[in-house]
């Protein structure tokens, strides 16, 4: 799994489809950073903000193609 897939999976596992749609259409990259966490040795760890921004950009690109 590459980094982009890892980020997108983390977003998918933490936000509903409706939240993702609202975030991408009306939000800013850092609006949901505190909600996107990953499992780090059994403990939740908030994904670093630059990775969340990368995920936001990836999702914007995917949504613009639809």
Contacts 24+ apart (CB under 8 A), 3-6: 3/51, 3/54, 4/54, 4/58, 6/38
- Are residues 20 and 11 in contact, defined by beta-carbon separation less than 8 angstroms? yes
Whether the per-residue pLDDT at 63 is higher than 90: the answer is no
Q: Tell me, what's the pLDDT at 4?
A: 94
Question: 54 in helix, strand or coil?
Answer: helix
pLDDT in tens, 7-45: 999 999 999 999 999 999 999 999 998 999 999 899 999
Residue 57 clears pLDDT 70, i.e. is over it: yes
The pTM for the full model equals 0.85
Tell whether the model's pLDDT for residue 65 goes beyond 80. Answer: no
């Amino acid at each position: 799994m590459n980094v982009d897939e890892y980020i997108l999976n983390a977003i998918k596992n933490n936000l509903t489809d409706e939240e993702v749609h609202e975030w991408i259409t009306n939000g800013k990259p850092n609006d949901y950073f505190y909600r996107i966490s990953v499992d780090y040795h059994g403990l939740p760890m908030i994904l670093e903000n630059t990775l969340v921004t990368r995920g936001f950009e990836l999702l914007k690109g995917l949504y613009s193609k639809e």
